[in-house]
Structure 1
Amino acid sequence: MLKRLTLLWALLRGDARQLWFALRHPKAPAWLKLGTALLVLYVLSPIDLVPDVLPVVGLVDDLVLVPLAIRWMLKRLPPDIQSAARR
């Protein structure tokens, strides 16, 4: 579990920071907070789309789905929140 979180953090460092700042923005939409909560639950959950017991494939789903979900949420933010989160 810790290995998976460390690997994800290394991969997502910049996007995760932007998401964190966007979440703390006073005008952050409710869907962003809900989507982030669901994404965190997915990462921490022992239930995956592809089980982690499969050697390489088990981690690859997290390394693909999580970054895609974060980028998808960041791209749908209002422009003022996007620019504030990038700074």
Structure 2
Amino acid sequence: MWKRLSLLWSLVRGDARQLWWALRHPAAPGWLKLGAALIVLYVLSPVDLLPDVLPVVGVVDDLVLVPLAIRWLLKRLPPELAQATAGRR
């Protein structure tokens, strides 16, 4: 599990940092906090769309879905919040 988390982190480091700063910003909307919590639950959950015991395919779903979900949330940030957190990537 730790190997999976470290690989995910290396792929989404910049976006994850921006998401972190957006979550800590006073103007962060509630939907952003909920979306981030759901992403964390998905990463930590033992239940996956494709089980990790399947060679390659089991990890690839996480490597694709998590970065896409983070990017999706960031693209929906209010413009002033996106601009305030963009320099923190």
- Give TM-score, length-normalised by structure 2: 0.96
Query: What is the SS of the residue equivalent to 2:66?
Result: helix
Distance in 2 of aligned mates of 1:83 and 1:5: 28
CA-based RMSD: 0.4
Distance in 2 of aligned mates of 1:43 and 1:72: 16
Stretches of structure 1 that go unaligned for 5 or more consecutive residues are: none
- Which runs of 4 or more aligned residues in structure 1 lie more than 2 Å from their structure 2 counterparts after TM superposition? none
Once the two structures are TM-superposed, the CA of residue 72 in structure 1 deviates from its matched residue by: 0.3
Distance in 2 of aligned mates of 1:28 and 1:38: 16
Stretches of structure 2 that go unaligned for 5 or more consecutive residues are: none
The reply to whether residue 42 of structure 1 matches residue 26 of structure 2 is no
> Residue 66 of structure 2 aligns to which amino acid in structure 1?
V
- Give TM-score, length-normalised by structure 1: 0.99
Q: Identity percentage over the alignment?
A: 77
Query: What is the SS of the residue equivalent to 1:27?
Result: coil
Partner of 2:81: 81
Give the total of aligned pairs.
87
Distance in 2 of aligned mates of 1:60 and 1:81: 31
